[in-house]
């Protein structure tokens, strides 16, 4: 081997380019482990609960009140119990306008957020009414991070049809609002990219 070639290969090795056997081949994706986002867990009591046997999809919601309000998990829990007569909050996660994530129902339990689809789905609700306003940048960052982590946890392909959906894809509703629904593809693409190195 000539000195020039030796120096070139040595420099490539230092940069990682000269060791193709350590790198994935073309078209081979490297999967990385995502850290669970920080989730605040308020103390919420439920009248009953059922464990979810499978998780095939993530359903995105907005709170959809008559005003664009930054609702807490506790407030929605109280509303769902006292007004709806449910066991408690129907969503598994609430994302506040600040981007803070709050836990609603325990993630392993059947939710009450999408009729006829609760037994196999996780419900994420962004606080606000996105027929009236737009989700904050912090909310969008948080929903992307949470959805990507959930895809990892449940082995879901975010680009597969029916995996990350809006509530309106499953039931007769405008939820998650005209200003959030068109951004679901943005969430799906983020999840795809985040799951690959």
pLDDT tens digits, 140-164: 999 999 999 999 999 999 999 999 9
Band (pLDDT 50/70/90 cuts) for residue 2 is low
Q: Which domain holds residue 23?
A: 1-29
Cα distance between residue 140 and residue 137, in whole Å: 5
My answer on whether 41 and 25 are in the same domain is no
From 98, 150, 168, 163, select the one nearest 126 (Cα to Cα).
98
My answer on whether 8 and 78 are in the same domain is no
3-state helix, strand and coil shares in percent for the chain, rounded to the nearest 5? 30, 15, 55
Mean pLDDT calculated for residue range 34-62: 94
Band (pLDDT 50/70/90 cuts) for residue 174 is very high
Band (pLDDT 50/70/90 cuts) for residue 197 is low
My answer on whether 106 and 177 are in the same domain is yes
Cα distance between residue 121 and residue 142, in whole Å: 19
Mean pLDDT of the chain: 88
My answer on whether 25 and 54 are in the same domain is no
All residues at 6 or more sequence positions from 142 whose CB lies less than 8 Å from its CB, including other chains = 37, 95, 99, 100, 101
My answer on whether 16 and 72 are in the same domain is no
The pLDDT of residue 146 is 98
Q: What is the CATH number of the domain that holds 142?
A: 3.40.80.10
| Span 74-90, pLDDT tens digits | 999 999 999 999 999 99
My answer on whether 2 and 84 are in the same domain is no
Cα distance between residue 48 and residue 70, in whole Å: 27
Cα distance between residue 164 and residue 148, in whole Å: 10
Number of domains comprising the chain: 2
Query: Is pLDDT of 15 > 90?
Result: no
């Amino acid at each position: 081997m000539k000195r020039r070639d030796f120096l070139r290969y040595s420099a490539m090795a230092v940069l990682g380019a000269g060791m193709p056997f350590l790198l994935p081949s073309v078209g081979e994706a490297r999967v990385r482990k995502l850290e669970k986002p920080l989730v605040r867990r308020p103390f919420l009591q439920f009248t009953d609960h059922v464990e979810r046997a499978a998780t095939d999809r993530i359903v995105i919601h907005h709170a959809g009140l008559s005003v664009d309000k930054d609702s807490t998990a506790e407030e929605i829990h109280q509303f769902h119990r006292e007004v709806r007569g449910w066991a408690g909050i129907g969503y598994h996660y609430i994302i506040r306008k600040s981007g803070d994530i709050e836990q609603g129902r325990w993630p392993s339990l059947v939710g009450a957020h999408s009729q006829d689809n609760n037994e196999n789905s996780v419900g994420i609700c962004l606080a606000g009414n996105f027929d009236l306003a737009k989700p904050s940048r912090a909310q969008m960052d948080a929903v992307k991070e949470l959805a990507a982590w959930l895809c990892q946890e449940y082995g879901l392909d975010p680009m597969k049809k029916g995996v990350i959906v809006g509530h309106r894809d499953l039931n007769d509703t405008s939820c998650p609002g005209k200003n959030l629904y068109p951004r679901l593809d943005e969430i799906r693409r983020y999840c795809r990219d985040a799951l690959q190195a």
